[in-house]
Structures are given as C-alpha cells and as structure tokens.
Amino acid sequence: MDLSDVRCLVVLGLRRSGRPAALLARREVPAAARVVALDEGAAPRDDTVAVLEAAGVEVLTGPAAVLPGDADVLVKSPGVPDSSAAVREAVRRGVPIWSEVEFASRFLTNPVIGITGTNGKTTTTELTGALLRDAGLPVAVGGNIGFALAAMPGEIPPGATVVAELSSFQLEHVRHFRPAVAVLLNLTPDHLDRHGTYRAYVDAKLRIFECQTPDDAALLCADDAGVLAEYEAGRLRGEARRGWFSAVDGLAQGPGGEELVAGVEGDVLWVRVRGELRRLCRRDELALRGEHNVLNSLAAAAAACAVGVSVGAAAATLRTFAGVPHRLQVAGEVGGVTYVNDSKATNVDATLKALTAYHGGVHLILGGYDKGAEFGDLAAATEGRVRQALLIGATAPRLEEAFAARAAAAGSAATPYVVCGDLPAAVQAAAAVARPGDVVLLSPACASWDQYRDYEERGEHFLELVSELRARS
C-alpha cells in the first residue's frame, strides 16, 4: 500500500513504540488523512495522550478503542497480541497489519543491521553498536531495546547505521522490511503463550530474511540446532549472501559448504574480510564471560566488519566491552560470595547459557511468569553445576514438580531445591548458606510479569537487595 493513498491510519498500542509511531504517522501521512491511536487498556499515565492530541492525533482508549470503520492500515505495537479485538477486526475486514518496525522502515533510509534469535539479542546488539561507535562510525542502537525505530526518522544522522534488536513480536507483521545485514543467533522455544506454537514463533523470526536481496548479508549460527533445522528444511528464505559463524575449533565451512565468515582456530577468534581470515583476539581476552558470548562476539564482529569496521578496531572493543545491565551483571561481593544479576534470562535456554559462565558453588534463583516452558531439562542440567535452586514466583509450583521428579529419578545426584516465594526470600535463603567463593545467580528462566513490571525492575530489585546485604555485613 502506498502511504499517499491512506485516508485513515491507525496505531494500536500507546507505549514505547506506539507513541513515536503515531507521531511519525501524523508527520508523514497526508495532512488530510486521519491518524488514530488506540489503546485497549487504560490511558497511559504520562503525557502521551496530551502530546498526541496536540500533534493532531485522535486518541481512543479503553472500551472506546475500536478499529475505525474507514481504517486503511493498522500499525501494531509489538506488545499487542494478535488476540486483540482491533487486530481480529482488521483481519476480518482485510485491513493490512504492519508492525511498528515495518512502518518505521519506510521512512528510514539508513542501513540496518537487524539482530534476532531467542537469546543473546541484547548483548549482541549493544556489542555491535559499540563496535561501530568505538571505530568512529555513526550508529543508532534501538529496536526492542532503547530507541524505537519509529523514533529514528529525522532524528538520527543520514549516514548512521541502525543496529536493531528485533523480537518475534516485531517481526511477525513485516512485509517489506529489509535489513542490510540480518543476524540469526539461535532458536529455542519461547513466547509460546503469545505465538501458540514453536512453529509460529520461528516463522516470525525468519521473516527477517524474506525481503533481503543479493546485495545484503544473512549471518547465521552454525552451532545452533534450531537454526540448522530450519536450514535443512529449506525455510531460510530471502536472496542475501549467506555466511555462518561458529565457535567450533577449526571448523572451515558452514552447513552445505557455505562460507564461514567468523570462527575459532585454537583459542583465537577470527573474522573473514574480503575473503581473507583476520585474527581478532584470544578467547581469554574477551571481556564477556560464558561460552555463549564467544558466539555473540563472533556474530557482532562479522556484522560490524560487514559494514566497514576495521578488524583492529573490532578486536579492541571485544577486549573491553563488559556487557549490558541485567545480563550476567555482577551485582557485588558480600562475605566472599559473588551475586550476579541475570534477570534478562527470561527463558530456559538463556539460563542454561548463563550456567556455562560459572562452575560449582552456584545458588540459582529461578521462577516468575509462566510462558508455557517445560522445566524438566533445566532441572536435570543443574545437576553437578548448582548447589541449590531457589524457586520463586508463579512458576514455583511447576519448577518444584520438575525438581521433585529429578529427585525421584536421580536420587542424591539431583539438585536440592527450596520454594521461597519471592526474590527477597530467595536472596536471604541463599545468603544464609552460601560460602566464600560461591555465586548467587539470579537467572530466572521465566518472564517477570507475575511480580514485576519487566525484567529491568526485577533486576534492579535484586541489585537493591544485594546492596542491603552489603550494608548489613
């Protein structure tokens, strides 16, 4: 649909993405067209409604937030599920539905590095942004973190590269979105409460490649079973130049003999630039901890070098980039015990990856909002790695069942567990028994929405609790 033909554009959802999308629409669609902003919940408590109305946007909230009869296109914020009444009505009428990313991309002339996958998106996105920034190249980081893409047109330099973290929610309604570089880190079950099936979740992720051309690059993880399954089934669409990255020592090619663009030889990370293998740094020089971060570092370096970052500059940043808040963030040390905030680990696979960063003496805090994940494999994977599991939140009963089943099956090899209810109780229980050298790791394997607004609030509460422990000690 050509936006010049639009007579009524509707934006659904008025939070972080919806507000800039509505303002962008009012600025860019024909002046004679209506721009209507809907929020089926309560009106935002901030100045969003006043700002939008002052800009000429009609705002409808609560029961009044119904799809206008003359709607030509619906721009949907990522937080709005397809079960929304307005979305269902748009489907019934055949009104085109665009994600906020799709809408914003129509006004962004900047090259985009899009990064998706189940885990590691935020770290890889921030690291890629740092690689460009440290190399002196203009960059804007956003998408699912920080700066919404709809807030970027007209606000970022024309020559800046956009590095965007892209969730399945943002990709499920793209139509023409075309990143110059698209990165797929991994695929494991997540957000089944939203997408319904793993197939629907993965299909949304894979849309990042659909509109790419031979001038673009698609970078994929050769070590991930989920990614390989999609490759073998022929579901990796698009026409981009495909390259793979791998942390397997000495691997020379990607699947099917396709090009490996970043890898490891011995203990040295390398990246391929114009056909030549170039040394980055040693594994032990990486500032980021954990085996999963070797892959994240390779992906970020390959993406950054694809848009002009020098290998030397990339290597320097890999040695200094310490990570992002709430992802294996050291909260502090109290009585010789290290407390680590990994609140961003909102699914099982993220927690399994976090456990590779620590060995022995781990007191693992698990639980939160139930997204429909299975916990049996997680309970088994903690054996020999975790001293005790401390279970909190709405999923505590299901986690308890999983650990009890392992106790019945594995006997004394099973990981001990205790149901704590909430985060303060779990921190206190861990502190009471942890010994110098141990690690108390908040890596919940669940979303936070049962007890917190988001994972950031949960992580900040953990940091406060650790600060209180330090003050008392």
Give me the average pLDDT of each 10-residue run along the chain (473 residues): 88 94 95 94 91 97 96 96 96 97 96 96 95 96 92 94 97 96 96 92 97 98 98 95 97 95 97 96 92 94 98 97 86 91 94 83 96 93 95 97 96 96 97 93 96 95 95 87
Catalytic choice (110, 119, 144, 347): 144
Alpha-carbon distance of 219 to 115, in angstroms, equals 9
Predicted local confidence at residue 356, as pLDDT: 82
Fold of 102-318: UDP-N-acetylmuramoyl-L-alanine:D-glutamate ligase (3.40.1190)
pLDDT in the model for residue 362:
95
Q: Tell which residue, 49, 156, 161, 57, has the closest CA to residue 115.
A: 161
Q: Write down the pLDDT at residue 145.
A: 86
Contact 368, 394 (CB under 8 A): yes
Instruction: Give the domain ranges of the chain.
Output: 3-95, 102-318, 329-472
CATH superfamily of 3-95: NAD(P)-binding Rossmann-like Domain (3.40.50.720)
At 277 the pLDDT is: 95
Residue 344 annotated among the catalytic residues of the structure: no
Q: What confidence score (pLDDT) does residue 146 get?
A: 80
CATH superfamily of domain region 329-472: Mur ligase, C-terminal domain (3.90.190.20)
Is 371 an annotated catalytic residue?
Answer: no
User: What is the distance between the alpha carbons of residues 146 and 345, in angstroms, rounded to a whole number?
Assistant: 18
Residue of 76, 110, 119, 121 with catalytic role: 121
pTM score, whole prediction: 0.82
Q: For residues 365 and 60, what is the distance between their CA atoms, to the nearest angstrom?
A: 41
Q: What is the pLDDT of residue 383?
A: 94
DSSP class of residue 147 equals B
Distance CA 337, CA 142 (A): 35
Cα separations in angstroms, 298 against 113, 120, 241, 250, 403: 15, 12, 17, 14, 35
Q: Is 144 a catalytic residue?
A: yes
Residues 310, 218: Cα–Cα separation, whole Å: 20
| Residue 405, pLDDT score | 97
